[in-house]
Amino acid sequence: MKRSFIIPTLLILLLSVQIINADVQSQNSVLHQHSIEIERCINNGIRKADSLVKTGKPDEALTYYKSSLKSKDSLYNLITNSQMEEILSLYNMDKLILQREQRHSMFHQTCLYISVIIILALLLSNIHIYRSRKRLQKNEKEIRRLTSIAEEANEIKSHFLTNMSYNIRILLNNVVGFSQLMTEDGNLNEKEKREYSGIIQSNSAELIQLVNNVLDLSRLEANMMKFQLQNCNVQEWCNELPYLVQMRSEGYIHLVLQADVDNAIIYTDVSRFTQIISSMLLYPVECKKPRRIGMQLVYNQEKQEINFRIDNSPLADSAFASQKEAILQKINLLFFEHFNGSYRVENCENNPIIFFTYPALIT
């Protein structure tokens, strides 16, 4: 649109310049002829005046001299006016040429601006496409990673369910089998009945504990565990822990406790917290072997947390590795992570160590 408008304008300017040049040339030619005629008349007048002077008629010669000078002045004025008109014409012509060049320059600048805008638009479009492609690649990589995690989790869960089904089936078979023996076999004496009854009770208790652990694990994984939260003085809690461990282990576990906690306070479910700690200090299965366990507590005021360390924990001992032990480890991990703590297990030179932290309140 702009280009179709500019081209006719340039043609008109060119025609105008040509017309002006033609007019100037015609005027110059007319002026030149008129100047020649005036100059010829002046020369004739001067020759006549010179002849009259020679013939002794100075008064008449003076008239011709004056007429020639007057004609020469008019000639000079004519030439001056002609030159002024020529200068004005050249000025107008230069002005038209300048306007033409300005329009030319404006057209080029407009084309340049449009080209720059198009290049910037293409560049931004390429950047957007590049970023979109990178984002898609990142999302695809994340989807593959999550898919791999989900498949691994499903495999672990399937393995877990298989082992749980096996363990539950064994316990149920023991309970059902010995119950049938007690009800169907009338020849059992009192000693055998007490023995079978003890087996049924122990298997029933273990089955209930296993089911409760599985339910607790499911609630923690779904973040649906309900806690009775309250403030707990760590030092007072530590004073009662050794006696609790000795009583529940029937004296087979000797706990050496070192607590440097000042007056630290934690906000927790005391019953559940005690149960979690006890699972690390007691045998995960029935065992009558004496065991010495070291436990250290340090209050880190800078991080506002309690650092725990348990040495020679039965729960972390590979000798007691089982499905029940794995469930308890998972429950402990999820419990401390729920309260913004940490939990990890290390084996250093056959010495199983459990490290965990729990946030403390600012006192």
- pLDDT class for 26, splitting at 50, 70, 90? low
Domain count, the chain: 2
Name the more confident of 248 and 188. 248
The one-letter amino acid code at 86 reads E
Using the predicted structure, report yes or no on whether residue 50 has a pLDDT greater than 70: no
Residue 200 lies in a domain: no
> For the chain, where are the E strands, in sequence order?
230-233, 253-260, 265-268, 291-300, 305-311, 342-348, 351-359
Rounded-to-integer distance, Cα 306 and Cα 342, Å: 11
Query: Of 126, 154, 170, which residue constitutes the final position of a domain?
Result: 126
Q: 307: domain range? A: 227-359
> Domain check: are 122 and 231 in the same one?
no
Is residue 198 domain-resident? no
pLDDT value at position 336?
Answer: 93
CATH code of the domain in which 353 resides: 3.30.565.10
Domain finish residue from 83, 105, 126: 126
Is 216 inside any structural domain? no
Task: Quote the CA–CA distance of 358 and 237 in Å, as a whole number.
Answer: 14
Q: Rounded to an integer, what is the distance from CA 351 to the centroid of its chain? A: 44
| pTM of the predicted structure, to 2 decimals | 0.56
For 105-146, what is each residue's pLDDT tens digit? 888 888 999 999 999 999 999 999 999 999 999 999 989 888
pLDDT of 73-106, one tens digit each? 666 676 777 778 778 878 788 888 888 888 888 8
Last residue of a domain, one of 126, 152, 185: 126
- Residue 1's contacts (CB-CB under 8 Å, 6 or more residues apart) are none
Q: Is residue 30 a part of any domain in this protein?
A: yes
CB count, 10 Å around CB of 38?
16
Give me 34's structure tokens: 């008129």
